[in-house]
Structure 1
Amino acid sequence: MKNLIIVGAGGYAKSVLDSLDHMNFRMMGYIDDVKPRGIDHQGFPVLGNSIDCIENINEYVYFVAIGNNAKRKVWFDKLKKRNLSLINVIDKSALVSHAASIGEGCFIGKLAILNHGSSVGDNCVINTRALIEHGCHVMDHVNVSTNATLNGDVICEEGSFVGSGTVINGQLTIGSWALVGSGAVVVKDVKPHTTVVGVPAKEIRSTNHKYN
């Protein structure tokens, strides 16, 4: 059994703990950059606010439970820079094709589906009931929210965010660090660093920066 430390003691961590394989991973506590050391969250303590608070850091495996893609990337990169091991958390109810691939540090939630030929990069969130159809490519640091549907051969580029209940038509590309609002129906490509909402989805904002 491996000892696990979760980065982020918030709501996302609750889902991670619920889907964690407790037969193979022993939860030890959290790193959280806001909550004070020693405070309890879901029965486990906050160990500190940085990786430097952890003694013998190589004796643990890690998971970054931060919903914001940009902030999750920062922590993922910090841990990888130190050559630390990050695990995947895949709920036992998720349906993952033998011909799908998943990177490192990913969460695959309850009843999520990854179909034949789909791929998920590093540090991604595929949340409850999300459907990733055949041939889709979800790149690093992406969040596909609850009950979202990616039809066949969709590409979600790095850092993109797909809101709850969104439907993305097949063969489309969601650009890097773009944000698709909840309930949108996407019928054409979404440019990088833009926000789209509505049915059909229309651009409402464009920025050169990663969304907050």
Structure 2
Amino acid sequence: MAKLLAHPDQDKPVSTRKGFRAYVALCALAGLRKGEAAGVQVGDIDFLRRSLRVQRQIQRDRSSFKVVPPKYGSERTVYPPDELVLILSQHIKEHTPEGEPDRWMFTVGDGPLYDNAITWRWRATRDAAGLSTRLHDLRHFFASGLIASGCDVVAVQTAMGHASATTTLNTYSHLWPTAEDRTRGAASVLAKAVLGDSLRTEQAN
């Protein structure tokens, strides 16, 4: 993931990928869908509370775009890490420092980033990093990170904007520890508490 975040923005003075790093970070570190990340407006971000309101997505409409609610009615508030908040703050400062709160974070001309423009920028980013990662894989990366950190099903469902916990479980159940894993882990903690000194002595010998 570090390689992908290092390659979205080119060093060339004129580049259509300038500012794409923040878009990639939104997908990887907040789990937004492609259209949701494209639909973020500056006013959706509350920097004081470190929160982001997901309330629209951008879809292609023939040769243009349309703004619609998030998939499955999944309007939600996500709580990005400080690192992502900083990336978004820097993006606004560099690319859209002035304007109304409803201005788009990512643009093509006067409108929001959408569809082919996203796909082209993503492929260029992926190729520059020497990877074959799909854009949607960033969302899975986010979900797996939440699970690895101990988040429960409801927390992951809420963060991902899934319609139900069943969807979350059908997609990611294999990543959660099984009952056997939890039992073994709990017993290991108990064993170390009881046998810690003697185990260290045996290992030393």
User: Structure 1 length normalisation: TM-score?
Assistant: 0.25
Q: Which structure has greater strand proportion?
A: 1
Q: Which structure has greater helix proportion?
A: 2
Bigger Rg over Cα = 2
User: Structure 2 length normalisation: TM-score?
Assistant: 0.25
